């Protein structure tokens, strides 16, 4: 249990500086249980707290865990250089509370992207020791062949890797598409593996991380959702 003054609650939830939050309260833009609260020092229990700002409903969260269906031509960076950043797809409150992408997808890669303001969660999910399988659907320039699938399963040698890298699983799903499952998380790994195997990746979508599948979240491109505890549990490696 934790009790905090209203201005600190708003600040911690990403509604700006303490001064800006104080102004929101004084202007009558904040309500709790349907009643406007104008006292910035009013103390509330944060557990399960729901409040309104500008008439929009929010629930207090000590940390946020999000899934985003990333569209193409968005950068996984807080300081994008050539394309809009993925944070522009989220409410601005999340930028204030330092929400960050968990790992990266290339600007032209679509699919499931995790985001959070929990540093321990970000570190754990990004660790190369985690061995969490990630599922991708790759569209290839040349037609997929059984030989290509066999080669990706056996392992391909890339010029900057000490040993061949192999897919955990790989299967053809269309004439120019395959589903490939990896756990290493190397830089541009799917694209580089396909290039090393003599093909070219023309489009790439990440469809699952661990047991969390994009299709089951029901998100269209550009949409996001909070992850509940059960969904977060799907992000643990098997046996953990």
Mean pLDDT of 207-229: 96
Residue 181 pLDDT greater than 70, yes or no: yes
Residue 190 pLDDT greater than 60, yes or no: yes
Q: Which one is the CATH code of 134-209: 3.50.50.60, 3.90.1170.50, 1.10.3720.10, 3.30.70.1560?
A: 3.30.70.1560
CA-based torsion, 146, 147, 150, 152: positive or negative: negative
Question: What is the structure's pLDDT at 139?
Answer: 97
Question: What is the structure's pLDDT at 202?
Answer: 96
Question: What is the structure's pLDDT at 63?
Answer: 95
Question: What is the structure's pLDDT at 186?
Answer: 79
Alpha helices by DSSP H, listed for the chain, are 6-12, 18-26, 92-96, 119-126, 146-154, 189-196, 214-217, 229-233
Question: What is the structure's pLDDT at 1?
Answer: 56
Residue 61 pLDDT greater than 70, yes or no: yes
Show me where the domains of the chain are located.
3-59, 65-129+212-233, 134-209
Bridge partners, 36 (sequence order): 31
Nearest to 235 by CA among 119, 94, 134, 136: 134
Mean pLDDT of 10-20: 94
The reported pTM is: 0.90
Question: What is the structure's pLDDT at 82?
Answer: 85
CA distance 5 to 17: 14
CATH dotted code for 65-129+212-233: 3.30.70.580
Alpha helices by DSSP H, listed for 118-212, are 119-126, 146-154, 189-196
User: Tens digit of pLDDT for each residue in 78-87?
Assistant: 777 788 899 9
Mean pLDDT of 204-214: 96
CA distance 229 to 217: 14
Nearest to 167 by CA among 140, 200, 136: 136
Range of lowest pLDDT (118-122, 222-226, 236-240): 236-240
Question: What is the structure's pLDDT at 129?
Answer: 75
User: Tens digit of pLDDT for each residue in 35-51?
Assistant: 999 999 999 999 999 99
Q: Give me the percent of the chain exceeding a pLDDT of 90.
A: 79
Question: What is the structure's pLDDT at 239?
Answer: 46
Q: How confident is the model at residue 238 (pLDDT cuts 50, 70, 90)?
A: low
Which residues are within 8 A (CB) of 93 and not within 5 positions of it... i.e. 6 or more apart? 13, 14, 15
Residue 208 pLDDT greater than 90, yes or no: yes
Range of lowest pLDDT (45-54, 64-73, 77-86, 109-118): 77-86
Question: What is the structure's pLDDT at 127?
Answer: 80
Question: What is the structure's pLDDT at 240?
Answer: 44
Common-topology check for domains 3-59 and 134-209: no
Is the domain defined by 3-59 classed in CATH 3.10.290.10? yes
Residues known to be catalytic: 106
Q: How confident is the model at residue 130 (pLDDT cuts 50, 70, 90)?
A: confident
């Amino acid at each position: 249990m934790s009790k905090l003054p209203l201005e600190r609650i708003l600040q911690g939830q990403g509604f700006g500086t303490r001064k800006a939050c104080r102004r929101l309260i004084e202007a009558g833009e904040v309500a709790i249980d349907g009643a406007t609260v104008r006292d910035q020092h009013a103390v509330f229990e944060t557990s399960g707290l729901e409040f309104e700002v500008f008439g929009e409903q929010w629930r207090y969260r000590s940390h946020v865990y999000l899934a985003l269906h990333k569209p193409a031509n968005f950068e996984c960076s807080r300081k994008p250089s050539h394309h809009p950043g993925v944070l522009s797809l989220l409410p601005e409150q999340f930028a204030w509370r330092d929400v960050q992408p968990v790992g990266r997808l290339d600007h032209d890669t679509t699919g499931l992207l995790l985001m959070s303001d929990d540093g321990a969660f970000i570190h754990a999910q990004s660790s190369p020791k985690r061995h969490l399988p990630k599922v991708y659907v790759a569209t290839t320039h040349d037609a997929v062949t059984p030989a290509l699938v066999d080669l990706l399963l056996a392992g391909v040698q890339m010029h900057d890797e000490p040993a061949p890298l192999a897919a955990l699983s790989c299967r053809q799903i269309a004439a120019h598409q395959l589903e490939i499952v990896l756990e290493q998380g190397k830089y541009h790994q799917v694209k580089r593996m396909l290039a090393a195997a003599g093909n070219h990746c023309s489009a790439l979508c990440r469809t699952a991380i661990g047991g969390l599948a994009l299709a089951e979240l029901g998100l269209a491109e550009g949409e996001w959702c909070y992850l509940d505890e059960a969904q977060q549990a799907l992000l643990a490696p098997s046996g953990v």
